[in-house]
Structure 1
Amino acid sequence: MGTQLDLDQKRLTAESSLISLESARIKYNDLLKQLVLNAKQAKNNLAISRSRESDYTIKSELDGKVYYIYPSQGEIVNPQTPLAIIGDSAHFYLELDVDEYDIVKIKLGQEVLITMDSYKGQAFEARVSKIDPLMNERTKTFLIEAVFTKQPPVLYPNLTAEANIIIQKKENALIIPRDYLINDSFVLVHKTEKKLVKTGIKDYQKVEILQGLTNQDAIYKPEE
């Protein structure tokens, strides 16, 4: 049998062990909480890093073909810097300048005949799709947009074209070059002889003759 002293010592040892165990549990719980917190922070940091990665990936909101890239590799850009020209290679529209004297004759849906240096000897059909109501004060012209109804097989942005907007049609009309007309009323039927004519539909290149000439008459271009 042990003494009272031995019993007290064992009791103290047991109490000390319980205190150490509780302290270890507290440290364990604190460490576990810290590990959980660190894991959450690491997960958040990973999500932030992934979201920032998308900032360096440039995506267009529209499908299309890249025609030009502005910055060179390694060049620093900002959010306002244009990066590229992207377009739909299957659909093109035409930008036409119309003089202020003719703009009142233009209406949506009018037929347009297009000739291009890239397609010599061919004509393509289009329709007026938009009329910009604000005149360019410098050029005194209005911007008109047209869309092809018969599109060339291959096109590129910024190609030049000549357009004739059909504002009126007339069958079997007698026409002459506009620069053969003198003072909008006369033509030369001989080198020096003028003949009075009555004109009809006209544009910058051609003019309709209503009276004064037949398709058998010869005319001469005035000397400049």
Structure 2
Amino acid sequence: MAKEVNLLGLWASPFVLRVQIALELKGVSYEYLEQQLWENKSELLLRSNPVYKRVPVLIHKDQPICESAIILQYMDEVWGACGPAILPSDPYERAIACFWVSYIDDKFGPSLVGLVRGKTDEENAAAAEQAILGLALLEEAYEKSSRGKRFFGGDDVGYLDIVLGSTLRWIEVIEIMRGIKLLDNAKFPLLAGWAERFHAAAVVKKLMPEAGKLMEYAKEVQARMNAAAAN
């Protein structure tokens, strides 16, 4: 690894996308190292993240940092003078942002995974209900956090914007796969407007995966899971 900063990732991962967006916003030069997660995981990945054995892993000066939310916090401290701040400077606002990031990782994100992996109508309906409930809560959170500004964090893309925004392409793919509407303009007008602004940000347009390619990846995930269940 020639560069001081390296990112172990998977192109389809929204968690990896979080780190990529943050690195670009901070203007940090890095080398991206694509990983294989289904089989033949690299020795570098296994050595860098021996506990979870997953991406993303940020390697800075040969020291690995794991888990995307932790990586973003680390970046804001290490490269605080570079680019815009990722986390809010106000302690209360920072705590609220961290709360909603935890909610996305613990509740909302798993509901999206359930919609990709669901095998029965009942499983998909339950996951869709949980996802829509999550969007309703996040609509309220956006109204309170943004205070009429463009993003959760104010006028610029911030911590919560990056974390939730990195799921947007997957939401689009899931809507097509399952024939449902999750991010409904009528139900969630504030989030829908925010999503348009997030997509329009230059750094996001540069990094957001293409929907068709992501759809093919989702089908591959389903096929692998079905094959594993049959064995």
Tell me the TM-score normalized by structure 1.
0.19
Identify which of structures 1 and 2 has the higher relative contact order when contacts are C-alpha pairs closer than 8 Å and 6+ apart: 2
Larger Rg: 1
Greater fraction strand: 1
Tell me the TM-score normalized by structure 2.
0.19
Greater fraction helix: 2
